[in-house]
């Protein structure tokens, strides 16, 4: 496994170099909302309930939704999605608890920022998830203090993710899968991978071969990304962003699931599948 991680780390370094040349500044790792939140937590700053709600909303919006569609609404300085923040009245708790979820849903749809699950997500957020966050704040002094006991028990974050996402947990948040829960935690500054379909596929046996599985199991993928980050001495979220960007529509868009551009791929020599594909010369 150590050899696999070393090779994967070399591949990620190549991806990073490639993405630096093709991604505009607005899409670069250093300009992301998550990077700014990681920096904030590392400075020891606190995260209030408003930021937790924003982090959950941004996570929900990322579900089955091409992120490039929100780019025009992202503020360069803060990384925040200004049109979404306006719809949610900057996450004012009293407003949200008194506002019908359907109204929020309709305003998101008007902005053409809704995904397939937006209706269910808003009904789960308002009021249930907000009330759950509020109960932890009232009981433990802050939401972060409640989460910290799980992080101390398991620094890999797997216990916390399971606590917030699995159906048999009393702390289960509605409409929040393991991947969306990880995204939410990243949005409040935690250094954790989001095991979405891009990450789980590119780490699988057909590409970087960090696992015996074609689609790497969720928690195994989290461990692999952390191991790669350790090998590169980088944040987990930065490695995750590189892997995701290399695959995602509107970003690197190289290692896609349906039409991978293997002949343009800078990690072809590291890929179990791509290095065996013949490349045809483009006819003038």
Q: Write the pLDDT tens digit of every residue in 62-80.
A: 887 777 777 778 888 899 9
Q: Give the mean pLDDT of 49-57.
A: 97
* Cα–Cα nearest to 250, from 48, 101, 66: 66
* Nearest-angstrom CA–CA distance, 44 and 48: 13
Q: Write the pLDDT tens digit of every residue in 112-150.
A: 888 889 999 999 999 999 999 999 999 999 999 999 999
Query: What is 1-28+192-284's CATH topology?
Result: Endonuclease Iii, domain 2 (1.10.1670)
The mean predicted confidence, pLDDT, of the chain is: 92
Cα 112 to its chain centre, rounded Å, is 21
Half-sphere exposure of 83 (CA within 13 A, CB side): 15
Cα 105 to its chain centre, rounded Å, is 22
pLDDT for 273 equals 79
CA angle 261, 265, 268 (to 5 degrees): 115
Lowest-confidence segment of 62-66, 88-92, 226-230 by average pLDDT: 62-66
**Which of the four pLDDT bands, split at 50, 70 and 90, describes residue 282?**
very low
pLDDT for 149 equals 95
Could you tell me which residues come within 8 angstroms of residue 181 by beta carbon, excluding any fewer than 6 positions away?
59, 161, 164, 165, 173
CA angle 184, 11, 252 (to 5 degrees): 60
Tell if the pTM clears 0.85, that is, is over it.
yes
* Nearest-angstrom CA–CA distance, 59 and 54: 9
pLDDT for 284 equals 31
Task: Tell whether the model's pLDDT for residue 277 goes beyond 70.
Answer: no
pLDDT for 275 equals 63
41's tokens:
């937590």
- Indicate the angle between helix axes 2-22 and 218-232, nearest 10 degrees: 80
Mark out the alpha helices in 62-125 (DSSP H runs): 82-87, 93-98, 101-110, 118-124
17's tokens:
């170099």
pLDDT for 281 equals 46
């Amino acid at each position: 496994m150590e050899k696999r991680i070393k090779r994967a780390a070399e591949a990620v370094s190549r991806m990073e170099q490639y993405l630096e040349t093709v991604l505009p500044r607005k899409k670069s790792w250093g300009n992301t909302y998550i990077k700014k939140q990681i920096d904030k937590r590392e400075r020891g700053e606190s995260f209030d309930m408003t930021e937790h709600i924003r982090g959950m909303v941004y996570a929900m919006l990322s579900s089955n939704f091409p992120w490039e569609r929100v780019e025009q609404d992202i503020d360069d300085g803060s990384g925040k999605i200004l049109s979404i923040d306006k719809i949610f009245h900057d996450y004012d708790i009293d407003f949200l608890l008194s506002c019908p979820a359907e109204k929020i849903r309709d305003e998101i749809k008007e902005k053409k920022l809704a995904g397939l699950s937006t209706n269910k997500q808003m009904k789960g957020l308002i009021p249930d998830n907000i009330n759950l966050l509020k109960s932890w704040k009232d009981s433990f002094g802050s939401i972060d203090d409640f989460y910290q006991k799980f992080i101390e028990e398991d620094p890999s974050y797997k216990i916390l993710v399971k606590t917030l996402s699995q159906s048999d947990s009393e702390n289960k948040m509605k409409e929040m899968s393991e991947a969306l829960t990880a995204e939410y935690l990243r949005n409040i500054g935690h250094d954790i991978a989001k095991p979405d379909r891009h990450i789980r596929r590119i780490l699988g046996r057909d590409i970087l071969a960090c696992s015996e599985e074609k689609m790497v199991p969720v928690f195994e993928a989290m461990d692999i990304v952390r191991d790669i980050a350790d090998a590169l001495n980088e944040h987990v979220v930065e490695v995750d962003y590189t892997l995701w960007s290399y695959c995602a529509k509107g970003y690197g868009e190289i290692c896609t699931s349906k039409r991978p551009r293997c002949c343009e791929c800078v990690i072809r020599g590291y890929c179990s599948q791509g290095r065996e594909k013949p490349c045809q010369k483009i006819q003038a």
